[in-house]
Amino acid sequence: MKGTLALRITVVCLAVAGIAVLVAGLVASRLVRTTADSVLQQSLRDQADVVAGQLGDTGIGNRLAVGKVADVVRGQGIEVVVHRAGGQDVGSADAVRAAERAGLTSGQDRSARIAVGKVDYLVEVRSVGARAAFALVQPARSGEATQRALVRNILLALGIGLLVAAVAGYVSGRLLGRPLRRAAAAAASLRAGRRDVRVPVEGPAEVAQVAGSLNELADALARSEARQREFLLSVSHELRTPLTAVTGFSEAIADGVAEGPDARRAGETIHREAQRLERLVTDLLELARLGADEFRLDLGTLDLAALVRDCAEVWQLRCARENVPLSAQIPSTPVLVTADARRLHQVVDGLAENALRVTPAGAPMVFALDTADGRAHLSVRDGGPGLAPEDYPVAFERGVLTARYRDRRPVGSGIGLALAHGLVTRMGGTLTAGPAPEGGAAFTIGLPLS
């Protein structure tokens, strides 16, 4: 059903009002008809009792008395049928047939509704004396006038009800549609790029909920776009540094400024910075695939203790060059988990690289693995400066830490932690950040034990 909200509400109100009036009219018509017949029957019964009392005193054989009674009730549309012993029933033909069918000759008092042809008659039979009786016969059509009046009143009520329903529906639709129209206009502004649009939260609960949700959407879009801008600034900064080195050294080689050993060192620098660019682009692509749910993992059962032991052997050499003592706290028994070994190794290497970057010479770095509550917990801890308490909850948002600490300490591209968090989450684990006992930061991977 197409159309405005006001039109729909108006149509619904009209339909409800019309159905309500029609149902009420049908019920009332039935009640009025039944009540009218009951009232007529009771009135006829009372008159029959009065007539029986009068004829009982004078006798039904007194034709003069019977004639007077007939004249009185005939003015009310009532026929009198008389039955005498051994005689013919006296009265109009239809009235006599109705009375005889009601049991005029039975010698008992009776009340009945008899159909003769297409007319219904109300009949009251009374016995008077020995083998004599009379009947009062009245057409039931006398209630039809009341029913016709009722139908007219029902139609009038229907018309008034429909008019009131139309006005009420239109006004209600306009009032309810006003905040929705404002919400639609705000949504169009958001689509056009505005982020300062807000809708008043008012009206019925459902409409207010729509307005509140739209305001929350606008806030979420503003925060998301702000994070995207910060992330792009961070990535552009990380791209600019190696590109500057590549451009400068390549120009030196091309201009002949760098020759012999200098050219070799320039080539090594260009190669190193190109690898850095390649790693950055690879991380960006993998992060994009994670977000698009197009990332493939080769999950299998692996010994996490053996994996950490291998990582520790590799990082012992790198830490030794930076004069950072590395200790590994690893159980002697296997710790079996379900994960992608290559990707998990990538995560541990990324966490270790971040830790070594900020750990000063002489400060410790720790790989710690333990099990508790059916889970394996692998922590990479450092003795560096750590993070501010408010930075731990946002440590895995892209570029947040890079933007905050770029001017105070060595930082990475701002992608590594976000990528590590996405990888661990896809493997069914958790990655959390918090302060370390060594004074720096601790990043802990949690995985269910197989």
Alpha helices in 192-303 (DSSP H): 205-254, 261-291
For residue 292, what pLDDT is reported? 47
- Decide if pLDDT at 347 tops 60: yes
Percent of the chain scoring above 70 in pLDDT:
81
- Decide if pLDDT at 302 tops 70: yes
Does the domain at residues 5-146 carry the CATH identifier 3.40.50.970?
no
Do residues 48 and 127 lie in contact, with contact meaning Cβ atoms separated by under 8 Å?
Answer: no
For residue 375, what pLDDT is reported? 94
For residue 436, what pLDDT is reported? 93
Q: Model confidence at 241, in pLDDT bands (50, 70, 90)?
A: low
Of 23, 26, 15, nearest in space to 165 by CA = 15
Give the CATH fold of the 205-291 domain: Helix Hairpins (1.10.287)
Q: Which residues contact 380 (CB under 8 A, 6 or more apart)?
A: 348, 351, 352, 355, 365, 366, 367, 442, 443, 444
Rounded average pLDDT over 353-366: 91
Q: Model confidence at 378, in pLDDT bands (50, 70, 90)?
A: very high
Q: Model confidence at 449, in pLDDT bands (50, 70, 90)?
A: very high
Domain ranges of the chain: 5-146, 205-291, 300-448
Q: Model confidence at 290, in pLDDT bands (50, 70, 90)?
A: low
Rounded average pLDDT over 60-83: 73
**Whole-number Å distance between alpha carbons of 410 and 32:** 94
Q: Model confidence at 227, in pLDDT bands (50, 70, 90)?
A: low
Strands 365-372, 326-329: pairing kind:
parallel
pLDDT digits (tens, 9 = 90+) for 402-445: 767 666 666 655 667 887 888 898 889 999 999 999 999 999 99
pLDDT digits (tens, 9 = 90+) for 99-144: 888 887 777 888 888 888 888 888 888 887 667 788 888 887 655 6
- Calculate ∠ Cα 328-330-331, nearest 5°: 160
Q: How far apart are the first and last CA of the chain?
A: 56
For residue 329, what pLDDT is reported? 94
Percent of the chain scoring above 90 in pLDDT:
16
Do residues 133 and 123 lie in contact, with contact meaning Cβ atoms separated by under 8 Å?
Answer: no
- Long-range contacts (CB closer than 8 Å, 24 or more residues apart) made by 240-244: 241/273, 242/273, 242/274, 242/276, 242/277, 242/280, 243/273, 243/277
Rg of the Cα trace of the chain? 50
- pTM exceeds cut of 0.75: no
Give the CATH fold of the 300-448 domain: Heat Shock Protein 90 (3.30.565)
